[in-house]
Amino acid sequence: MTWIQLNNRQFFEKNINYSIEGIEGNVRIIYDKQMTAEHRYLLSFKRELCINNDNKILFILLNPSNNTFVKTTSLKLDETVKFCFLKGLKEGYDIVEIINVFSHLSPNSDKLMQKLEIELRNTGIIDHKNNNLWIKKSLSTSDALVVSWGGNGNWFNRNVDIINIIRKYWAREIKCLAETKNGYPIHSSVQSRNQFQITLMTPLKEYIFI
């Protein structure tokens, strides 16, 4: 457990050895605070035995859940995170990184909206400065990009901010799992083990921002 700096801002970093579906590796987590984290900026898995020169695939999701533990050495990953890790590894990448449209730790979209509304009411803005730093850094160091934030990514027009950052820092093809009926990149959450396995086998498709 260490403190790191990015652009003169301080963050808390935690590294944990972890095995997913028999693949040994290391999970890296970047939080805002050590014991009372409210934001998670980055979550990644790096396989122990790299097969592709440390190539990295980046997933951009909606927001982090509370299921990655801050206070203990144990680690619990939700199904969405497990899916992204396995999908990235299946695609042949050694590092799978997850960042989010909103960095606020929240177990579901209703709780997330409550947090965003409270922050906006109390401060007059929703502060994305730290999150944007990590999004830019991740984009600049990745080899592939998968957008997967679902329809709620447009809350407070945040998807516009993210798209503008991507257009500035990413010049290669953008992938998604599928699209919603409204044209948003579908969220990578999975509702059943059967759907998990089916989606895991489904090829990524190109995504073009409207």
Tell me which residue has tokens 């695939």.
Answer: 57
Residue 101 lies in a domain: yes
| 133 exposure class (CB count in 10 Å sphere: 0-12, 13-18, 19+) | middle
Residue 5 lies in a domain: no
Residue 98 lies in a domain: yes
Going by pLDDT thresholds of 50, 70 and 90, the confidence category of residue 73 is low
Domain count along the chain: 1
Residue 34 lies in a domain: no
Element holding 144 (H helix, E strand): strand 144-147
Per residue in 101-156, pLDDT (tens digit) is 999 999 888 999 999 999 999 999 999 999 999 999 999 999 999 999 999 999 99
Residue 6 lies in a domain: no
Per residue in 6-37, pLDDT (tens digit) is 999 999 999 999 999 999 999 999 999 766 78
Task: Give the residue numbers spanning the domain of 96.
Answer: 48-206
The answer to whether residue 71 scores a pLDDT higher than 70 is: no
Residue 26 lies in a domain: no
